[in-house]
Amino acid sequence: MKALTWQGRRKVSVETVPDPVIQEPTDVIVRITSTGLCGSDLHLYEVLGPFLDPGDVLGHEPMGVVEEVGSEVSRLRPGSRVVVPFNVSCGTCAMCARGLHSQCETTQVHAYHSGAALFGYTKLYGQVPGGQAEYLRVPFGNSLPIPVPEGPPDDRFVYLSDVLPTAWQAVQYAEVPPGGSVAVLGLGPIGDMACRIALLRGADLVIGVDPVRERLDRAAARGVHTLDPSEAGGELVDRVRDLTNGRGPDAVIDAVGMEAHGAPVAKGLQTLVGHLPDAVAAPLMRRYGVDRLSALHLAVELVRRGGTVSLAGVYGGAADPMPLLAMFDKQIRLHMGQANVLRWVEDLRPLLTDDDPLGVDDFATHRLPLSGAPDAYEMFQAKRDGAVKILFRP
C-alpha cells in the first residue's frame, strides 16, 4: 500500500509499505477514505525526529471503511464506516473506565513512562503505524473505532478522530463560566474549533489571538473578537484587559504548544538538538529538553486572577521553566493533557447534523490526494495559502 512516511527532519515521502494484517483476534483493518494533517504532526516534521525511524508511517486522524475483522470482533463487520480515535485505548481498563483514555493502562508506553499509545506518533507513544495511508490496522475492534452512519460526506465525521474532542476538552478544562470570557491563543485547527465550541456553549466573549491574517478573518467571521499580536505589539495584554473589565479573561486556552513564536533561544536549542545523532539527541531531549514557552507564559499573564489556563497545545520539554510565582500569586488553575477522545464522543455526536452548528462540513481549507502530502506538510508549517486544515484522500 501507499503511505506517508517520515524520512528525516522536514522530509516526508509517500512510499510503498507492507499492507497491515490482522495480528490479534480483536483487530480490524480499515481502508482509509479521509485522514487529516494535524499541527501535532508538525512536531514530528521539525522537532521530534530523535524518536522516529526512517519509514515510520505518520498520521493520527483517519476514518474509513472496515475491510477485514478478527475472529473475536462482534461490533463491526466488513463495510462498517468508522472513525479511528488517535488514542490507542482498550476501553476496559481502570483509566478508560474513568474516561481517561489517553492514559489507557493496556497501551501505556512503559519504556518512556508515557501514557496511552498513539497512532503515527513516535517511539515515545508506541511507534504505532499511522493513518496517513491507504490501510490501517486498528486494535480493540469492539471498543476503539467509532461507528458513523452512511450518507454524509467524510468531513462530517472525520474530526471526531482528534480536532473535535481535543477542542471540546480544551473548553471543558477551561471552565468558562456561563456568560464568561475566554482567550484562545493560536487559531490553527484546534484553536479555531475551540472558539466555535466556546461560543456554542455560551461564552459571552471569545478572543482569538494569532499572527496569521487568514486565520483571524476565518475566526472573526464566526463571531470571535480577534487580535493580531504583531499589530498589538507590547499592548496585547492591555488590549485583552480592556475587553474584560481590566481583569483579564476568565480562562485562556493555549492551542499553540511547544513551537510557539517569540522564543528564539528555545528554537535555537531545538534546532541544534535536531541535528545531533539520535543516540545523543533522544536522551538529551528526555532529560533537558525545553519548549518554546512564549504562548504558555502569555496565557499566565493574560488570565484573570483565580482563572483557568487550559493547555491543548502539545508540550514535550522535560526541563521547562514555569512562572510559578505569577501562577501562585494569581491563584491560577492549570488543566492539560492529551484529549480523551472516546470520553467526549457522545457529547459531540448531536452536533454533527445537517444544521452543522460547528461548521465541520466546510472546516477543511484543503483536500488533497495522499501524493500531495509532502508539499502539504511544508505548506502547513509555513502557514501558506490559507492552510488551516488539510485532509488527504488516500
pLDDT at position 318, please? Answer: 54
What does the pLDDT look like over 66-97, one tens digit per residue? 999 999 999 999 999 999 999 999 999 999 99
Range in 53-57, 59-63, 175-179, 232-236 with the lowest mean pLDDT: 232-236
What does the pLDDT look like over 292-340, one tens digit per residue? 678 889 999 999 999 999 999 877 665 577 888 999 999 999 999 999 9
The mean pLDDT of 239-243, rounded to a whole number, is 97
**Measured CA distances, 197 to 152, 187, 223 (Å):** 21, 13, 12
- Mean pLDDT score across all residues of the chain: 91
Q: What percent of the chain clears pLDDT 90, i.e. is strictly above it?
A: 81
Q: What percent of the chain clears pLDDT 70, i.e. is strictly above it?
A: 90
What does the pLDDT look like over 361-382, one tens digit per residue? 999 999 999 999 999 999 999 9
What does the pLDDT look like over 132-144, one tens digit per residue? 999 999 999 999 9
**Measured CA distances, 47 to 186, 189, 234, 292 (Å):** 19, 20, 29, 11
**Measured CA distances, 185 to 71, 137, 225 (Å):** 46, 35, 12
Q: Is the pTM of this model over 0.85?
A: yes
pLDDT at position 261, please? Answer: 46
pLDDT at position 292, please? Answer: 64
pLDDT at position 258, please? Answer: 65
pLDDT confidence tier of residue 272, bands split at 50, 70 and 90:
very low
Higher pLDDT, 269 or 242: 242
pLDDT confidence tier of residue 284, bands split at 50, 70 and 90:
very low
In this structure, are residues 266 and 276 in contact, taking their beta carbons and an 8 Å threshold?
Answer: no
In this structure, are residues 104 and 116 in contact, taking their beta carbons and an 8 Å threshold?
Answer: yes
pLDDT at position 316, please? Answer: 63
What does the pLDDT look like over 194-226, one tens digit per residue? 999 999 999 999 999 999 999 999 999 999 999
pLDDT at position 268, please? Answer: 42
Higher pLDDT, 145 or 275: 145
